[in-house]
């Protein structure tokens, strides 16, 4: 009987000790959990900065001309001849001659200018120049006329003589252009040079 009482007391003591230990463990866990939650630091959420959509710059093409197109200066030289076209189209050649080499004899006539050339297309302008070429060998007083659509004109050698100082043959020319009912005239004197080219003297 005494042995049974002793076993009962030991069992109760062990049970109380276990319960106390379990309670202590539970309290320590809860305390640690509370401590952890109390000191938790919330890190800020980093959102990437808003980037505007990438816009490609517009592609700017450099100025260009059609293949084979050549920009001809209005004021230039060809050998000893000064070529100056302040009005109308600037191109190589003169009249129906499309190269400076072929038109060398008459390139100086570009110095006789008419503002109405600005109202002509290249075809009409070349016809007017071709009339000037023909007038260098035509009889004096003979009008060399031309027409291109609504544009027309003529060139005439009004006088011919010999230059007092040089002895060169010279001619006075009159040019006339009519465009849209408006007429403009110009005058100039040219002398035939030993190389066969004409030179404007006045």
Residue carrying the six token digits 């100039």: 188
Per-residue pLDDT tens digits for 129-143: 999 999 999 999 999
Report the percentage of the chain scoring pLDDT > 90: 55
Q: Measure the CA–CA gap between 45 and 141, rounded to whole angstroms.
A: 99
Determine the pLDDT at residue 14: 45
Q: How many residues does the chain have?
A: 202
Strands (E), 79-181: 81-84, 143-148, 151-162, 169-179
pLDDT at 3 over 60: no
Q: Which two tokens stand for residue 73?
A: 């200066």
Q: Which two tokens stand for residue 43?
A: 């890190």
Q: How far is CA 144 from CA 110, 114, 132, 172, in A?
A: 17, 17, 8, 14
Average confidence score pLDDT of the chain = 78
60 assigned to some structural domain: no
**In 3D, which of 197, 178, 201 has the Cα closest to residue 188?**
201
Q: Which two tokens stand for residue 194?
A: 């030993």
- 118 or 18, which is more confident: 118
Domain that holds residue 170: 75-200
57 assigned to some structural domain: no
- 26 or 48, which is more confident: 26
Q: What is the pTM of this model?
A: 0.64
pLDDT at 57 over 50: no
111 assigned to some structural domain: yes
113 assigned to some structural domain: yes
Helices (H), 50-153: 122-135
Per-residue pLDDT tens digits for 89-120: 999 999 999 999 999 999 999 999 899 999 99
21 assigned to some structural domain: no
From 61-65, 76-80, 98-102, 114-118, the region with the lowest mean pLDDT:
61-65
Determine the pLDDT at residue 40: 52
Count of structural domains within the chain: 1
32 assigned to some structural domain: no
Q: Measure the CA–CA gap between 185 and 194, rounded to whole angstroms.
A: 29
56 assigned to some structural domain: no
33 assigned to some structural domain: no
């Amino acid at each position: 009987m005494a042995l049974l009482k002793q076993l009962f007391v030991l069992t109760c003591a062990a049970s109380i000790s276990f319960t106390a230990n379990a309670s202590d463990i539970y309290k320590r866990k809860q305390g640690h959990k509370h401590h952890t939650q109390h000191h938790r630091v919330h890190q800020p959420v980093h959102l990437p900065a808003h980037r505007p959509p990438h816009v490609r710059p517009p592609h700017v093409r450099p100025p260009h001309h059609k293949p084979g197109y050549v920009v001809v200066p209005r004021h230039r030289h060809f050998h000893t001849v000064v070529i100056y076209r302040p009005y109308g189209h600037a191109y190589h050649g003169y009249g129906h001659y499309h190269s400076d080499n072929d038109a060398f004899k008459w390139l100086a006539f570009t110095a006789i200018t008419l503002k109405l050339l600005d109202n002509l297309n290249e075809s009409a302008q070349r016809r007017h120049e071709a009339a000037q070429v023909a007038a260098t060998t035509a009889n004096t007083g003979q009008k060399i006329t031309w027409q291109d659509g609504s544009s027309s004109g003529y060139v005439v050698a009004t006088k011919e003589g010999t230059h007092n100082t040089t002895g060169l043959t010279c001619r006075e020319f009159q040019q006339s252009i009519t465009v849209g009912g408006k007429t403009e005239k110009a005058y100039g004197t040219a002398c035939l040079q030993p190389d066969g080219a004409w030179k404007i003297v006045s």
